[in-house]
Amino acid sequence: MRFFWFLVAISAGILISAFLGWVRTPQKITNTSLSALRSDYFADYVLMAAETYKSNNDIALATYQLAYLGSEKPLYHVQRAIIYAEELGYPLEDMESLALLASAFQPINTPTVTQ
């Protein structure tokens, strides 16, 4: 019987700490990462990478910069950013920068010769 109540007490402790840790989250959020950016800020981050790429054509740098957004492939981030940018009505110049970066990450399809 004593062991039963001991387990109940442990469960209560776990429940309390789970509530404090997961449900009652802090009012002031800090220490978040770039991968958690809101869509408009995300798109702007990718746009910064695109602007940089446009001027220096450094694909390695762009890859490094986009790696901060998550473990997905860089092209995925750029494509997401283009979708957001379209929704937000980015000007043509910015859309072109994003498209240029996307094309840089596109796999090169070599034409297959059929006989």
Residues at the site binding other proteins, with contacts judged by CB under 8 A: 2, 5-18, 20-23, 25, 27-34, 36-41, 43-45, 47-49, 51-52, 54-56, 61, 65, 68, 85, 88-91, 93-94
CB of 102 to other proteins, least distance (A): 17
* Closer to other proteins by Cβ: residue 92 or 108: 92
Whether the Cβ atoms of residue 47 and residue 81 lie closer than 8 Å to each other = yes
CB of 30 to other proteins, least distance (A): 6
Report DSSP letters for 43-98, one per residue: HHHHHHHHHHHHHH--HHHHHHHHGGG-SS-HHHHHHHHHHHHHHHT--HHHHHHH
CB of 24 to other proteins, least distance (A): 9
Two tokens, residue 65: 């910069």
- How far apart CA 59 and CA 80 sit, in angstroms, is 18
* Closer to other proteins by Cβ: residue 32 or 115: 32
* Closer to other proteins by Cβ: residue 90 or 105: 90
Output the CA angle 57-61-62, nearest 5 degrees: 75
CB of 106 to other proteins, least distance (A): 21
